[in-house]
Structures are given as structure tokens and as C-alpha cells.
Amino acid sequence: MTQKSASISVRIEPEIKETAEEILSAIGIPVSSAINMFYKQIILHGGLPFEACIPIEELCEMTQLTPEELNREIEKGYQDIVEGRVMPLDEAIARLRKKYGI
């Protein structure tokens, strides 16, 4: 058996911690085992073992666009990439810094 000697310390919302621990307890999994399983899944997936994204509804609310308008804007951006209408990141950052005096 592998000896476990590493530790982590995190701050989370108390309600989230309490609810998650209640669920884990109900299914008989110690918190440390659940965290260990999560880390193993990160390794196996080469990233988060689930999709982490903003739901389309929230994106529409944030941008104040309808789903159709948002989709058109995304498609325009994709076409810019395909057709080479892009600029290097360092140039874009330099322009933003100049524009906003950063």
C-alpha cells in the first residue's frame, strides 16, 4: 500500500463543504478518498474529468445577445481565424495596454 503523506489545504464555502461531506458520508466514502479519486481522474483525463463551461444562457445574459446572435459572433470569429485575420497575442496585449494606459 502506498503511504499517503502529502496534504492540501483549501478554502471553500461552508455550505458546499457540508453538503458534499454529507453526501460522501451517506455513500461511505471518506473525504480524503474522494479527493484522492478526483486527483487520479484529473491525471487519467489530462485535465478536469468533466466539462467546465459557462451555460449558453449565462453567456447570452453576459453578452446581452440572443443565442442566435451569439452563435453568429462566434462563427465570425472562427472565420477570422480560418482566413488569417488574427494578430499575435503580444501585439494584442501591447495595443490594449496603449489604449487603456496600462
pLDDT in tens, 45-100: 999 999 999 898 999 999 999 999 999 999 999 999 999 999 999 999 999 999 99
In a domain, residue 3? The reply is no
Indicate whether 33 and 61 sit together in one domain.
no
- What pLDDT was estimated at residue 66? 93
User: Is it the case that residue 8 has pLDDT exceeding 80?
Assistant: yes
Distance between first and last Cα of the chain: 54
In a domain, residue 81? The reply is yes
- What pLDDT was estimated at residue 2? 72
The count of structural domains within the chain is: 2
Is pTM, for the whole model, over 0.85?
no
Residue with the three cell numbers 496534504: 7
Give yes or no for a contact between 83 and 75, defined as CB atoms under 8 angstroms apart. Answer: no
In a domain, residue 1? The reply is no
Q: Which domain holds residue 87?
A: 56-100
- What pLDDT was estimated at residue 102? 87
